[in-house]
Amino acid sequence: MNWRELKDGNITRIAGAVSGGLDSCTVTHWLQSKGFSVHCYTVDLGQPDEENLNAVKDRMLGCGAESASIVPGHDALAEAGLKVIQSQARYEGGYWNTTGIARPITVSAILPEMLASDIGVLFHGATGRGNDQVRFQLAANTLEPAAQIYAPWRDPEFVAEFPGRQQMLDYCEANGLPIRPTRESRYSTDANFLGLTHEAGDLEDVTISPTFVEPGMGVWAWDAPDQPEIVTVRWEQGVPVAMNGERLSLVEMFERANAIGGRHGVGIGTHVVENRFVGVKSRGIYESPAMDLLGSSYEYLLQFILDRRARDLFEHLSGVISLQIYQGYWLDLATTSALAALEPMTRLATGTIAVRLFKGSVFFETAEDTPEAMPYSLYTDDSSMEAMGTYDHADAEGFLKVLGISSKNVGARQYPSLGR
């Protein structure tokens, strides 16, 4: 779809999902210059790189928007982030899907606002080479099938005028638009309180070390304190409810974990050359202190609870959910079903886990291994090397004889021909 098709359809009012960055400012002014009434919406996701979201609102008004609004999204993002942790939904290289999960949350927050204002078209600044265009579009299509999506980066006329960031910078400066200083920036950052994504610019050159990136949620591991810190997390039915003995709301839990994990370099600078959904590779540097801290704590808890078959199922579901989020299918049947399949395991995830943070790593410290503290733990003394537990060593004799039958058949009939 191009802007002329919108005009031919008598559409003059358009809503934008904006961050207040270079793309947002350029597109807003450009559409306004084409005769559209532009209404901008910024979802408050606790963006660490924005001290005051009202500044975004002011920038968009200064770029020609007829209206600009800040829409709350903290609670929804925290709930979604928890599901990412509960499913251990990491993509290639350990990326926690923090940007991928934020897109459907953003769309679900904006759609009711724009529809209440009788606006039926939503634009975004995601490029035609990336994943976010898919995430925005599929979320909007699912939540409001009648809504239309306009993507400037897929409009040939827009791309011809703005083939890259330099042309957008020149345009904004020529028109006196109130953009943040970006000429000196060596990369682009997308932010929410679950994590930061750094890409583009000098990060596209893999011959350059990514250590020039300035962390926004903590410090590089080598700059972290020389003394470790012990952090205790209490989980109840899969929800972190207390840290170091202090009861916290879910949003507060993420904020506290970000602060503690970030100062120890936890989750800072994850490097991934990943396979985008559109079929190209890209390089990203990721920050996600709370996700790493809480996610590691939850994984240690799962080790006490899941038996072998449940673990196999969990790993499969985790992979499915991770890919679904990354590719933009958070709201569809497969994700809904996979999350529902995890629910019985999540319900049993009650326990208190202490972890040791040191120089970017999260180590297991201790667990409160009592029936009261961890009622669903399967960890017993049956595996002990000492004379305790109900497991009789002699009982393994028959077990090994049964296992040995197939091994003997392989040895007699197949192994000599395997060429090993």
Active site (catalytic) residues? 23, 103, 132, 188
Place of tokens 């503690």: 260
Q: How far is CA 359 from the centre of its chain?
A: 22
Q: Distance (Å, rounded) from C-alpha 333 to C-alpha 147?
A: 20
DSSP designation for 362: E
Distance, in Å, from the CA atom of 399 to the CA atom of 211, rounded to the nearest integer, reads: 53
- Report d(CA 28, CA 68) in Å as an integer: 11
Three-state DSSP class for residue 387: coil
Considering only CA atoms, which of 85, 357, 414 is closest in space to residue 229?
357
Token pair, residue 325, equals 């989020």
**Both ends of the chain: CA-CA distance in Å?**
59
Task: Say whether 168 sits in a helix, a strand or coil.
Answer: helix
Distance of CA 172 to the CA centre of its chain: 31
Distance of alpha carbon 68 from its chain centroid, rounded? 26
- Residues 171 and 169: their CA atoms lie apart, in Å, by 5
Contact status, residue 216 vs residue 47, Cβ threshold 8 Å: no
Alpha-carbon distance 382 to 307, whole Å?
14
State the alpha helices, DSSP H only, in 87-123: 98-116
The Cα-based distances of 194 to 96, 257, 415 in angstroms read: 9, 10, 51
